[in-house]
Amino acid sequence: MKPHIIVIGSANTDLVVRVPKLPRSGETITGEQFQIVAGGKGANQAVAAVRAGARVTFIANIGQDSFGDAALRGLRREGINARYVVRSKTRASGVALILVDARGENLIAVARGSNDELLPRHIDAAQPAIRAARCVVVQLEISLTTVRRAVELAVRHAIPVLLNPAPARRVPISLLRQATFLTPNESELAALTGLPTKRKSEVEAAARRLHALGVKQVLATCGARGVCWSSAAGTRWFPAWKVKAVDTVGAGDCFSGTLAATVADGKSIEQAIRFAIAAAAICVTRPGAQTSMPTRREILRDSAFAGIDF
Ligand code: RIB
């Protein structure tokens, strides 16, 4: 039986232009290709989790427009339960304008649109599903009040919560404390703590600051430097794979979605981190957000090539 997880968050349509280099303010850069790809941190994490082997219920607010129709069709095609996806009558679907350069680095601007209209009552309506889940996954691309309600309900039913604090924004510590797993990248960790996170020792110190405030487990995703897993009991680094990145959009989502699916499957956190690192490594070698999420079979195959046994 596949583990059931709930993902609550944004669904966007990503409008992507590949450019040789990212423009400075006021500069025009000419790119070659334009692509429309399914994205949004919530939807990306739902797709990553379902491909990693979980049964996923996704809770989101999508506009009643052609982007929204396509997003919903895509989720259903993946086998994601979209029963609790609501459709806004007043706001357009979320859109992200994305530039990706030759090294795979990106710039993103998001129009949140209908994502802002995912309300606490929509989370309440999904309570029966939340109660029966093995993990609840949530990010910060929706209203904070809604995030709070999602976490509150999960905690009430003793369901582990993975909170991906992305995009970076101010979050009350009381909310961070309720998460079982917090998965910031370096800049999100810096935004949460007000501390530098350029060096490994700084990442560890920033995570320690969060533990001192009552945060349980931090899994800081630090790109090529790997993942720093820390709790009040100590810190451990897991190395990243050496790969040639073509597009890093969605890599953090891939990590969080895969991690949640693996933990919900009863694996240890160490195994789940290794599996999620492998998934994210594959993700960055492919273009697009949801298009780049690997399947469980691909993760197992590439891990076997790399001599890693799960
Ligand atoms: O994390 C990547 C995602 O951020 C993109 O898919 C884009 O939609 C933005 O939400």
Q: How do residues 210-237 score in pLDDT, each as one tens digit? A: 999 999 999 999 999 999 999 999 999 9
Mean pLDDT of the chain: 97
CA 61, 67, 69, 73 dihedral sign is: negative
Ligand 1 surroundings by CB, under 6 angstroms: 10, 12, 14, 39-41, 44, 96, 108, 110, 141, 249-250, 252-253, 289
pLDDT at 104: 87
Q: Give CA–CA dist 274/38, Å, rounded.
A: 26
Please report, to the nearest 10 degrees, the dihedral formed by the alpha carbons of residues 182, 187, 188, 189 taken in order. 50
Which is the closest atom of ligand 1 to the Cα of 10? 10
Domain covering 4-305 in this structure, CATH number: 3.40.1190.20
Whether 309 shows a pLDDT value over 90: the answer reads no
Q: What is the pLDDT of residues 14-64, one digit of tens each?
A: 999 999 999 999 999 999 889 999 999 999 999 999 999 999 999 999 999
DSSP of the chain: -PPEEEEE---EEEEEEE-SSPPPTT-----S-EEEEEE-HHHHHHHHHHHTT-EEEEE-EEESSHHHHHHHHHHHHTT-B-TT-EEESSSPPEEEEEEE-TTS-EEEEEE-GGGGG--HHHHHHTHHHHHT-SEEEEESSS-HHHHHHHHHHHHHTT--EEEE--S-----HHHHHH-SEE--BHHHHHHHHSS--SSHHHHHHHHHHHHHTT--EEEEE-GGG-EEEEETTEEEEEPPP----S--TTHHHHHHHHHHHHHHTT--HHHHHHHHHHHHHHHTTSSSSGGGPPPHHHHHHHHHHTT---
Instruction: Tell me whether residue 247 is one of the annotated catalytic residues.
Output: no
pLDDT in tens, 158-215: 999 999 999 999 999 999 999 999 999 999 999 999 999 999 999 999 999 999 999 9
Percent of the chain with pLDDT over 90: 95
**How far is residue 220's CA from residue 61's CA, in Å, rounded to a whole number?**
28
Residue in 10, 13, 44, 137 to alter for ligand 1 test, most ligand atoms within 8 A of Cβ: 44
How do beta strands 227-231 and 234-238 pair? antiparallel
Residues 6+ apart with CB under 8 A from 286: 246, 247, 292
Of 307, 306, 304, 280, give the one whose Cα is nearest residue 294: 280
CA 166 / ligand 1 centre spacing (Å): 9
Supply the residue whose CA is at minimum distance from atom 10 of ligand 1.
40
pTM value surpassing 0.95:
yes
> In ligand 1, which atom is closest to the CA atom of 289?
6
Closest residue CA from atom 2 of ligand 1:
250
Residue to mutate, 7, 36, 41, ligand 1, most ligand atoms under 8 Å from C-beta: 41
Q: Which of 14, 253, 265, 302 is catalytic?
A: 253
19-33, 84-98, 138-152: lowest mean pLDDT where?
19-33
Residue 182 alpha carbon to ligand 1 centre in Å: 18
Which residue has its alpha carbon closest to ligand 1 atom 9? 40
Ligand 1 atom nearest to CA at 13: 8
User: Of all protein residues, whose CA lies closest to atom 8 belonging to ligand 1?
Assistant: 40
Nearest Cα residue to atom 7 of ligand 1 = 40
